[in-house]
Chains A and B, each alone.
Chain A
Amino acid sequence: MREAMIEAGGLVRTFGEDRAVDGVDLQVAAGEVHAIVGLNGAGKTTLMRMLLGMLRPTAGTARLDGAEVATAGPGVWRRVGCMIEAQFVYPELTVRENLRGAALLHGLPRDGIGPEVDRVIGEFLLGRWEHKRARTLSLGNKQRLGLAAALLHRPSILILDEPSNALDPAGVVFVRDLLRDAAADGAAVLVSSHHLDQLARVADRITVLHRGVIVGDLDPGGTDLEERFFSEVYEADRVRAARATGAA
């Protein structure tokens, strides 16, 4: 078993009475694409936020490359790329200026910023808009810019929430290739999406999260993913309802 680069140990996060994430254990190794699927409000984003230090866990531990997220220093964060709902897109800046800003904050060496920005502008097909202000971009191109900003420093830990949102079919295929290439280069990739068929083509493992709890796995190579997903979710609901009735 390869060493886990992304690790959740009994992670819990509550918002008042609501247990948004309820004891999640999860590991992602280098070179692996681990997908999380779940209905809206399942806890996918909350889980990812805790793994990135955006939320403090109520209980449990979050680790990146062996380091506690709560106390992780610049050396750890330099190796992390992420996009959770919000993109690193400042509307008054051009595409190139946004990427330059992301490169600065990601800690790229100053002499490497220009070449890396050139590279991602080419790779993410943003050349036509590189001198346009980001406010003029379409939703899909803003998503591309956000992804480029998250990836331009070649992170070895990648956490992406719904990266295919707003992208056209070509963009969806592009993201799929992007994730596979990142994993092939040795990155640990944790990704969430609603598109089961897309995830099946890229993920090594698919975990089903429902009401903050891991309720099962899906075999990416299997058939009828959608049907199996819903059967796991409904079974979890049935067990929960039975427990509630028993407790009452």
Chain B
Amino acid sequence: MRRALAFEFSKMRKSLVVAVTTALIVVLVPGLCLGFVVIAERGGTGVMALKAQAMVSGEGWEAYLGLLGQMTAITLFIGPGVVAAWAFGREHADGTFPSLFAMPVDRGTVAAAKFVVLAAWGAALTALLLAATVLVGIVGGVGPMGDIDLATTLARMGLVGVLTALLALTVGYAASVGRGYLPAFGALILLTIAAQVAVLFGTGGWFPYAAPGLYAVAGSEEGIDVHAVQLLLVPLLALAVAWATVRWWRTAEVV
């Protein structure tokens, strides 16, 4: 496993997809949230101002972190989803999949190593996003801290980020079975839509792809509550899909 981990890590480290996704999420997400909060607080009746006011509730850090919580649930699904699509789909798109046969380190181990490296990157990405959130908030002069408990809010955001990033890895199964990037991108879009529909029907808490997003706003919006059991379903689902993906890699033929 350590050999496969070392090789997968070297590919991740040199990947443009990973570098661009990391930079976009860490820099752009807090920057955008800060921008929306500033626009909303300035008031006005312009299109941007009205949109920002609709997205932001409260003021200062409460508004900034509230918006970031929602954005975390979306961006840490799509970003790591794209990277997972690349990590698994590239072996087929670049034609390297057959070259992983006939080796003492089997393909199942290679797939498991991909999950481990992607999960570790997802956790690191979440940590970087939290650090950037605080930094951008302070440098950007978000405003009064108010009653907000920064540590608790960041811990909640961190949990949302890690759970969401774990869920995103499940598109690796679609990239494997579909043998390329496109099926994974399709799965990413479908799951995002399905999560929205589940929330609309009021069953989002029991739908693992919607639960972290609901948990992100559960503290600030009335009528939304997510239980620990519902959140526990998220890593369980991620593990089940990872197991199915590893099994596919172990038994798949070259076609």
Contacts and interface: CB of A to CB of B under 8 A. Distances in A.
Given A52-B102, A90-B96, A101 B7 contact: yes
Given A49-B254, A101-B10, A77 B3 contact: no
A90 B16 CA distance: 13
Contact of A97 (B10, B97, B98, B110): B10
A73 to B, nearest CB: 8
Given A78-B104, A92-B11, A105-B104, A86 B96 contact: yes
A93 B94 CA distance: 13
Nearest to B255: A55
Interface residues of A, number: 34
Contact of B104 (A77, A91, A133): A77
A66 interface: no
Given A77-B103, A104-B3, A106-B104, A90 B94 contact: yes
Contact of A54 (B15, B98, B104, B110): B98
Contacts of A159: 102
Contacts of B11: 90, 92-93, 101
B105 A93 contact: no
Contacts of B106: 74
A87 B99 CA distance: 6
A92 B16 contact: yes
A88 interface: yes
Contacts of A104: 3-4, 6-7, 105
Contacts of A83: 99
User: Counting chain B CB atoms within 10 Å of each CB, which of A53, A75, A104, A149 scores highest?
Assistant: A104
Nearest to B5: A104
Contacts of A167: none
A93 B14 contact: yes
Interface in B148-203: none
Chain A CB count within 10 A is highest, among B97, B102, B106, B254, for: B102
Contacts of B104: 74-75, 77-78, 105-107
Given A54-B254, A84-B254, A92-B14, 11 more contacts: A53-B101, A54-B101, A77-B104, A86-B97, A86-B99, A87-B95, A87-B96, A90-B11, A104-B7, A105-B110, A107-B104
